[in-house]
Amino acid sequence: MSETLLSVRDLRTVFETRAGMVRAVDGVDVEVRRGECLGVVGESGSGKSVTFASVMGLVRSPGRVEGGEIVFDGRDLRALNPRQMRAVRGRDIAMTMQDALTALNPALTVGEQLAEVLEAHDDTLDARGGGRARAIRERSVEMLGLVGIPSADKRLGQYPHEFSGGMRQRIMIAIALACRPKLLIADEPTTALDVTIQAQVLELISDIRRKLQMSVVLITHDLGIVAEHCDRVMVMYAGQVVEEGPTAQVIGAPRHPYTRGLLGSIPRLSLRGQPIRPIEGQVPDLIDLPPQCRFYSRCSERVDACLKPIAMREAAPGHRARCIHVAEQQP
């Protein structure tokens, strides 16, 4: 069995608009290994969520996957028809969305939403006897208990608005994990949660990952979260991957100026009294992308050689960055 669970090569996803073609994902390569947690970091609009929505087959008109290869567990997902893709989505690959309140259906109880996933994807639940409906209810109670919701049996009949923000996030994770997927894509799972609940949700994902031995893609804008929970990190900017590698290497010795800018904007108690250093400038227009390095206009290290497309370069074994200065930045 291959160590690689998900392999994406040269993925290109575009959206047609009145102003022109938006190149949201432009030549992205991703690899997720079995059992690992990959952190995907970048500003809003960098292409993080669209990359993995493309993997899930969730991009719809006016968007489309224009090119690239998506291989999951040895299967070419782009070659599957819609029915075959629906069988993979939710069973083998699951995704939690950024806002649990809008992702959950307000007209259905939590139990109905869990049952919906199990009914569609798990054909083994009535094997123990007692009927399929009973088996689905038992699994639903089990999943709510797994994510730490008390009195799970009683709460199956409640609606999403009857839960707090942290509890809704847990419910969404329970729905995503109901069929024991091989890969969980957690898209900003701590959005709009206070710091204490954020820590609980992230620890929950880490615990379940170990229990179920699954892979996790953690999409976030916070390198602090990645440092604590992820084995590897991939940094995206303007639809491209600009740096990737083991978390300790990328955070301890970042080789791209954008990664250093993200790290420099994190508040640190050890630097009390010193101002946070923001990244100056704006992300380039994804409709009219410049031919040069996409970070050029914001980079303090730019030189004339940056006025052309820059390929990923190896900084260390397993650590690459899209910068011409990589070789000069040995730690």
The predicted-structure confidence for 201-226, as pLDDT tens digits, reads as follows 888 889 889 888 899 999 998 888 89
- Provide the 3-class DSSP secondary structure of residue 298: helix
Same domain, 302 and 231: yes
Tens digit of each residue's pLDDT (9 = 90 or more) over 126-150: 655 568 888 899 999 999 988 889 9
**Range(s) of the domain holding residue 298:** 4-92+181-328
Q: Write the CB contacts of 8 (distance below 8 Å, at least 6 apart in sequence).
A: 28, 29, 30, 31, 51, 55, 68, 69, 70, 71
Give tens-digit pLDDT for 238-292: 999 999 999 999 999 999 999 999 988 877 767 677 777 788 888 999 999 988 9
Structure tokens at 252: 């301890």
Partners of residue 67 on adjacent β-strands? 12
The pLDDT tens digits of the residues spanning 25-79 come to 999 999 999 999 999 999 989 999 999 999 999 999 999 999 999 999 999 999 9
Residues 171 and 114 in one domain: yes
H or E stretch covering 212: helix 195-212
Q: Tell whether 108 and 226 lie within a shared domain.
A: no
Do 123 and 29 sit in the same domain of this protein?
no
Question: Is the overall model pTM greater than 0.75, yes or no?
Answer: yes
Q: Own/partner pairs for 113-118, CB < 8 Å, 24+ apart?
A: 113/171, 113/175, 114/139, 114/140, 114/143, 114/144, 114/156, 114/174, 114/175, 114/178, 115/140, 117/90, 117/175, 117/178, 117/179, 118/178, 118/179
List the CATH number of the domain containing 81.
Answer: 3.40.50.300
140 phi, psi to nearest 5 deg: -65, -45
Whether residues 86 and 223 share a domain: the answer is: yes
Q: 115, 149, 180 — which closes off a domain?
A: 180
Query: Per residue in 161-210, pLDDT tens?
Result: 999 888 898 899 899 988 889 999 999 887 767 788 788 888 888 988 98
Q: Are residues 15 and 28 in the same domain?
A: yes
pLDDT, position 127:
54
DSSP secondary structure of 218-287:
EEES-HHHHHHH-SEEEEEETTEEEEEEEHHHHHHS--SHHHHHHHHTS--GGGTTSPP-PPPS-PPPSS
- Say if residue 175 is in the same domain as residue 206: no
Whether residue 201 sits in one domain with residue 78: yes
- Asked if 232 and 150 sit in the same domain, the reply is no
Whether residue 292 contacts residue 322, with contact meaning beta carbons closer than 8 Å, is answered with no
Which residues lie below 8 Å from residue 135, measured CB to CB, with a gap of 6+? 125, 126, 127, 128
Of 137, 154, 180, the residue at which a domain comes to its end is 180
Do 175 and 191 sit in the same domain of this protein?
Answer: no
Q: What is the pLDDT of residue 147?
A: 87
Percentage of the chain surpassing pLDDT 90?
64
Q: Over the chain, what is the mean pLDDT? A: 90
Q: For the chain, what is the domain count?
A: 2
Is there a contact between 25 and 64 (Cβ–Cβ < 8 Å)? no
pLDDT at 185: 96
Q: What are 309-326's pLDDT values in tens digits? A: 999 999 999 999 999 998
The three-class DSSP label of residue 198 is helix
Last residue of a domain, one of 133, 151, 180: 180
